[in-house]
């Protein structure tokens, strides 16, 4: 292990154009699930100045008022809704629908999903990921509650943490870009962000005299949202997951129901990895899942503990398969993925929401018991 290195992660606020598209897509999904728990939704959003396009496939008895949902989400995010909303939603391909809704629920797509957990924070996530998402969450709170006057809803944060022998030692660099009114004093904004955001977000990782802090390094950030930056669903994959510090299969999360294994598989893989680490079975755990469209069982389940496991990886993989149900129906059931709550968890990393089922550490004892049973069988 290197004795000194720096890891970096970023996050964006709920008012960022890409995240706003994610929220619109997941709000449409939630509306469908309220009426129809079996709704099949694959919803994409593209937005730019004056135009919001909603496209995708629906297979549901629900009848969402998409234009109203779009306008409500945009207004709640703090923007005027002077947009032409175009809706291009059509029915799901009968080939896919038939494969998914057969005698047993099949995977809605093929693909590879990864889950990750490590011991270094209470959230069992890398420290830069936690700190970056804390900052953007606090930026949104400061705007929503008017704790900082003259602040806008759009923003980004980036945090670099210095490690010593694998342990987060200090914050090396913080970068914050925060939307503001044209007449907001930049020095006042910097002082308020240091006091109300940075100090609170980084209370458990040391900031010292060598820490570099850049606030609005471009100088001004007045125009935000879709007027400044085109938004697109699924463009913040690393913000949604592990900040680029763990593997990612490439599939986006938002706007997809639980049969879409891009989402359900990613959540289940995180659920497994978190419980493996919480059970004390490894310091670091990566779970990889692979699926074939229309098939019920995954084609692959693998555990990688980077040689930090109490047992070898093949042993842990077998134990995990005894405890967790990796079929689409099993994942939907275990993680409540037929419930309308997706817009609640699509901001500030999908794995930073303690109320989410995949963030629970309720399988630790079953994992330990499965390992004990396997040991007995092998002796």
For 261-304, what is each residue's pLDDT tens digit?
Answer: 999 999 999 999 999 999 999 999 999 999 999 999 999 999 99
The closest of 219, 215, 222 to 194, measured between CA atoms, is: 215
pLDDT tens string 85-115: 999 999 866 766 666 776 679 898 899 999 9
Kindly state the average pLDDT of the residues 176-192. Answer: 96
pLDDT tens string 14-40: 999 999 999 999 999 999 999 999 999
Percent of the chain with pLDDT over 70: 97
Q: Determine the straight-line distance between the first and last CA of the chain, rounded to whole angstroms.
A: 34
Kindly state the average pLDDT of the residues 149-158. Answer: 97
The closest of 202, 204, 203 to 159, measured between CA atoms, is: 202
pLDDT-derived band at 3 (thresholds 50, 70, 90) equals confident
Kindly state the average pLDDT of the residues 351-361. Answer: 98
The yes-or-no verdict on residue 259 having pLDDT over 60 is: yes
Kindly state the average pLDDT of the residues 122-138. Answer: 98
Angle at the Cα of 228 from the Cα atoms of 226 and 231, rounded to 5 degrees? 40
Enter the DSSP assignment of 105.
Answer: B
Percent of the chain with pLDDT over 90: 92
């Amino acid at each position: 292990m290197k004795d000194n290195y720096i890891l970096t992660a970023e996050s964006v606020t709920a008012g960022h154009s890409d995240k706003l598209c994610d929220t619109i897509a997941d709000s449409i999904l939630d509306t469908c699930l309220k009426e129809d728990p079996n709704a099949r939704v694959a919803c994409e959003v593209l937005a730019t100045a004056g135009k919001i396009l909603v496209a995708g496939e629906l297979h549901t008895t629900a009848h969402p008022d998409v234009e109203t949902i779009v306008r409500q989400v945009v207004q709640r995010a703090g923007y005027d809704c002077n947009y032409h909303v175009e809706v291009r939603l059509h029915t799901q391909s009968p080939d896919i629908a038939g494969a998914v809704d057969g005698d047993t629920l099949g995977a809605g797509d093929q693909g590879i999903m990864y889950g990750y957990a490590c011991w270094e924070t209470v959230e069992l996530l890398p420290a830069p990921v936690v700190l970056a998402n804390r900052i953007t969450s606090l930026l949104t709170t400061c705007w929503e509650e008017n704790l900082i006057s003259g602040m806008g809803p759009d923003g980004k944060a980036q945090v670099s943490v210095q490690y010593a022998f694998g342990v987060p030692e200090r914050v090396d660099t913080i970068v914050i870009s925060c939307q503001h009114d044209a007449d907001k004093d930049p020095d006042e904004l910097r002082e308020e962000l240091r006091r109300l955001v940075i100090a609170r977000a980084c209370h458990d990782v040391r900031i010292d005299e060598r820490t570099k802090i850049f606030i609005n390094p471009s100088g001004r950030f007045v125009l935000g949202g879709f007027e400044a930056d085109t938004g697109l669903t699924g463009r913040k994959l690393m913000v949604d997951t592990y900040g680029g510090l763990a593997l990612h299969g490439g599939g986006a999360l938002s706007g997809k129901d639980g049969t879409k294994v891009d989402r359900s598989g990613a959540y289940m893989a995180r659920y497994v990895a978190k419980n493996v680490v919480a059970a004390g079975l490894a310091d670091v755990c990566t779970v990889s899942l692979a699926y074939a469209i229309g098939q019920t069982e995954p084609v692959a389940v693998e555990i990688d503990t980077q040689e930090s496991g109490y047992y070898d990886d093949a042993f842990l993989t077998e134990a995990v398969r005894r405890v967790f149900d990796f079929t689409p129906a099993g994942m939907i059931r275990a993680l409540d993925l037929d419930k309308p709550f997706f817009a609640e968890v699509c901001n500030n990393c999908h794995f930073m929401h303690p109320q989410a089922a995949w963030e629970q550490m309720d399988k630790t004892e079953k994992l330990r018991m499965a390992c004990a049973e396997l040991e007995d069988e092998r002796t």
